[in-house]
Structures are given as structure tokens and as C-alpha cells.
């Protein structure tokens, strides 16, 4: 990707400020984040044991792939996290949805392997995602690439980190020639200017690469799910960025329908420019 501009010291007052999430109801945000980090790292060992080897794989009813690794990671995360926080609800791509989560103020939102297609193709671009959502917004999140050993994490008000080092979105001011992550068929035609477009199968990985300034923005005009976004959402926001849909609306999680219509991820200035283009 093109060379990054230095991180911004602040944002232009005319642009939307990054959203801040609520505090956790029990004020255990620090402990909750440590729990997520430790559990997801252990889950990474499970994923690595399957990666590049022989394992069962099949397709779900809607056509998306799933593997033994998805289910093994999901079981470990579910067993460990729900034992530690039995009062929290649970929503995961690989667990049958239980409407009881809607009655819980605080909910784990999990994608055991985000980027299963990359995992199947032995490409190191998949992640394990674990977020905690309170009152519809994320308060803690971890996105872990077990192959590159990159662990991205954040909690409300404490900034975002990659392997313990603070990260920040890029200070890019214009879309032209920027580093964009997403589907080339969506992003290499009008209304977008020429950009350097690459893709990563894991949606969450795209978002944290924006959070650490490796990419300037990510856009998708197709539906995503809560588990694709929730953990990375808090990381991006704590890194100074914005995650909204294509209309500029902030995501609300743990609703009866877990679909999100689209996504725009960038620093506040670029986010404003992208949303303006999309409104055309």
C-alpha cells in the first residue's frame, strides 16, 4: 500500500467526531478486555492447529463456508467467556441465535473465524473477533490474526492498541490515490476517484488495518453482520476513526435482526467525503 501520512494530532471541527461508547454496566471494562484478550489468544492456538491441514468443511444453508476450525474456536470461546460472565448474553455466527440475548443489557458478539474463505485458501488474512456490547454499542473489542500474531484491542476511553502499542488512523485528507480496502468491483468506478484498492476476506481485519493507518479507508455496499463489525468498531473509534453505514448512521448492535446495511470506515474527514459521494 502507498506510504502513510503521519498520524493526526486532532480532527477538523467541521468533521464528525469519533463516537464514544457507553461504560460497561458493571464498570469492569478493564477486566473484560483482559478476559477477551487472553481468551482470544488461546483460541488462536486452536485455529493454528487446523490452518493448512486436513479438516472437515461444508456449506451452510445460505451458501457460506464453515469448517471444523470455526466450530472448535466457537466452542472454546463460548465455554470460556460465558463461564466467566454468565450474566452476559451471547451472539455468535456459529451459534444458533437465542432471542434471550435481547433481554441482556450486555452481550458478547463473536465471530470465531472472520474470513473463512481466506482460512480455506491458506491465506493469513482471517481473524478471531470478540466484542462486548452494552446498550447496543461496543465497549470492549479484540480482533486477532493468529497467523501474523497481531492482536488489536480497545475499550472505551482507553485508546486502541496493536500488541500493546497505541495505534491511530491515518491523517489522509482526500480519497484520490488513497489506500482503500474493499471489493474492487464496487470501488473502481464512479463516483469514486482513482484509488489503490485491495481486499481482505476478513471484514474485521479491514477495519483494524484502517485503525492502525495501514489503510486509509474501507467501504462495503453489501450487508454485513453484527459479528463482522462489533469488535472492530470500538477499535476503530478508539483509534480516532468513524464506522458508519453509507448514510452516515452509527451502528447499533444486538437487535432482533443482526444485519448492517453497509459500512464506511475512515478518519472523520475521509468518512465525510465518502458519504457525500455515496449520496450522489
Please give the pLDDT value at position 1. Answer: 47
Please give the pLDDT value at position 63. Answer: 87
User: What mean pLDDT is reported for the chain?
Assistant: 91
**CATH topology (fold) of 179-279:** D-Maltodextrin-Binding Protein; domain 2 (3.40.190)
Higher pLDDT, 83 or 9: 83
Rounded CA separation 76/178 (Å)? 39
Please give the pLDDT value at position 280. Answer: 82
pLDDT digits (tens, 9 = 90+) for 11-57: 343 344 333 333 344 458 899 999 999 999 999 999 999 999 999 99
Rounded CA separation 195/48 (Å)? 34
Q: Would you mind telling me the total number of residues written for the chain in this entry?
A: 280
Which residues are 62's β-sheet partners?
none
Of 5-9, 36-40, 211-215, 220-224, the poorest mean pLDDT is in 5-9
Residues of the chain within CATH 3.40.190.80 domain(s) are 179-279
Rounded CA separation 132/113 (Å)? 17
pLDDT band, very low/low/confident/very high, at 10 (cuts 50, 70, 90): very low
Sequential DSSP letters for 186-205: HHSSTTSPS-EEE--S-HHH
Instruction: Determine contact, residues 110/203, Cβ cutoff 8 Å.
Output: no
pLDDT band, very low/low/confident/very high, at 61 (cuts 50, 70, 90): confident
Q: Is the pLDDT of residue 200 over 60?
A: yes
What grid cell was written down for 273?
467525503
Please give the pLDDT value at position 190. Answer: 86
Rounded CA separation 261/101 (Å)? 21
Instruction: Determine contact, residues 21/231, Cβ cutoff 8 Å.
Output: no
Please give the pLDDT value at position 175. Answer: 96
Q: Is the pLDDT of residue 229 over 70?
A: yes
Which residues 6+ apart lie within 8 Å of 64 measured at CB?
Answer: 116
Rounded CA separation 170/159 (Å)? 15
Q: Is the pLDDT of residue 179 over 80?
A: yes
Residues of the chain within CATH 3.30.540.10 domain(s) are 29-166
Please give the pLDDT value at position 18. Answer: 37
CA dihedral 38, 36, 154, 105 (to 10 degrees): -160
What grid cell was written down for 38?
487472553
Please give the pLDDT value at position 26. Answer: 46
Strands (E), 68-204: 89-92, 106-114, 127-134, 137-145, 150-155, 160-162, 165-166, 179-181, 196-198
Assign domain 29-166 one CATH number from 3.30.70.2700, 1.10.2020.10, 2.40.50.100, 3.30.540.10: 3.30.540.10
pLDDT digits (tens, 9 = 90+) for 128-172: 999 999 999 999 999 999 999 999 999 999 999 999 999 999 999
At 94, is the secondary structure helix, strand, or coil?
coil
At 4, is the secondary structure helix, strand, or coil?
coil
3-state secondary structure 204-257: HHHHHHHHCCCCCEEEECCCEEHHHHHHHHHHHHHCCCEEECCCCCECCCCCCC
pTM for the predicted model, two decimal places: 0.90
Amino acid at each position: 500500500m502507498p506510504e502513510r501520512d503521519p498520524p493526526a494530532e486532532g480532527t477538523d471541527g467541521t468533521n464528525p467526531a469519533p463516537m464514544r461508547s457507553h461504560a460497561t454496566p458493571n464498570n469492569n471494562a478493564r477486566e473484560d478486555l483482559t478476559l477477551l484478550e487472553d481468551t482470544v489468544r488461546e483460541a488462536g492456538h486452536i485455529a493454528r492447529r487446523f490452518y493448512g491441514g486436513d479438516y472437515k468443511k461444508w456449506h451452510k444453508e445460505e451458501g457460506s463456508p464453515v469448517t471444523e476450525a470455526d466450530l472448535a474456536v466457537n466452542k472454546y470461546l463460548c465455554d470460556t467467556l460465558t463461564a466467566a460472565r454468565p450474566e452476559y448474553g451471547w451472539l455468535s455466527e456459529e451459534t444458533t441465535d437465542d432471542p434471550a440475548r435481547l433481554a441482556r443489557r450486555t452481550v458478547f458478539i463473536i465471530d470465531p473465524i472472520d474470513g473463512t474463505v481466506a482460512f480455506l485458501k491458506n491465506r493469513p488474512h482471517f481473524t478471531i473477533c470478540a466484542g462486548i456490547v452494552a446498550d447496543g454499542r461496543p465497549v470492549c473489542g479484540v480482533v486477532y490474526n493468529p497467523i501474523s500474531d497481531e492482536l488489536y484491542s480497545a475499550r472505551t476511553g482507553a485508546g486502541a492498541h496493536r500488541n500493546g502499542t497505541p495505534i491511530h488512523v491515518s491523517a489522509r485528507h482526500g480519497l484520490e490515490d488513497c489506500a482503500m480496502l474493499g471489493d474492487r468491483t464496487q470501488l473502481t468506478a464512479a463516483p469514486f476517484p482513482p484509488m489503490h484498492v485491495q481486499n481482505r476476506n476478513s471484514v474485521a481485519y479491514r477495519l483494524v488495518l484502517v485503525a492502525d493507518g495501514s489503510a486509509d479507508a474501507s467501504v462495503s455496499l453489501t450487508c454485513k453482520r453484527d459479528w463482522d463489525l462489533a469488535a472492530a468498531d470500538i477499535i476503530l473509534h478508539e483509534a480516532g476513526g468513524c464506522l458508519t453505514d453509507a448514510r452516515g448512521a452509527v451502528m447499533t448492535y444486538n437487535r432482533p435482526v443482526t444485519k448492517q446495511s453497509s459500512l464506511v470506515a475512515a478518519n472523520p474527514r475521509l468518512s465525510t467525503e465518502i458519504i457525500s459521494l455515496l449520496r450522489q
